[in-house]
Homo-oligomer: A and B are copies of this chain.
Amino acid sequence: MTQVQRKAVVLLSGGLDSATVLAWMQREGFACYALSFRYGQRHAVELDRARELANRSRVVEHRTAEIDLRAFGGSALTADIPVPKDRPESEMQHGVPITYVPARNTIFLAFALAYAETIGATDLAIGVNAIDYSGYPDCRPDFIAAFAALANLATRSGTQERGKFTIHTPLQALTKAQIVTLAVQLGVPTERTVSCYDPDSDGSPCRHCDACILRARGFAEAGVPDEFSAR
């Protein structure tokens, strides 16, 4: 008897969070299709790591969609705006950070939805996290719920009632330390993930941006050494 594996589209950035989500979805038994984006990010080294992580994980397929978010500007991740450095965490908790890319997760999930429809999947997974870094509006649980509602109305699958979409967000309620612990449990090669918003071209982290600071604290609290490795 053959059991057909359920397919899932997993957004894979090359960072610690999405790598952990991929490993989690595979442990859950999904046949994973990884999706990355070349969106004009200044930290494009992410994409090399995404491909490497996809290959190591033996995903069914890994696609990188080319989209140009620089056309819209407005973020330190895509425009000529400096990435903030050495901010105290108390400051990170307030307001929407300048590294917010307008509507990025909406766009990423919309592409994931298109991908899912073409392969016949109704499961998507994204590494949003609302605990340690709540400044991004499109990381909140109610945003994810609204996208799931939209997905069921937006698609051929939705009209055919072939299945309802599920957006998996296994990291939603975890602290960064818990994510590190989970990553280690799942065998994620954390040293090959890149979290930095402003890395060197070889992938070395700046150690001063919000993402580096939060990552460092997460590893410290989890009692795990963070062995960044260059390419």
Residues of A at under 8 Å CB distance from B?
Answer: 63, 65-69, 71-74, 96, 100-107, 109-111, 113-115, 117-118, 137-138, 140, 142-143, 146-147, 149-151, 153-156, 158-160
Contact = CB atoms under 8 A, between A and B. Distances in A.
For the complex formed by this chain, how many copies does it contain in all? 2
B114 A110 contact: no
B156 A150 contact: no
Interface of A is mostly: helix
Contacts of A159: 96, 137
Contacts of A69: 114
Contacts of A142: 153
Contacts of A104: 114
Contacts of A113: 102-103, 106
B156 A100 contact: yes
B103 A114 contact: yes
Contacts of A65: 67-68, 71
Nearest to A138: B154
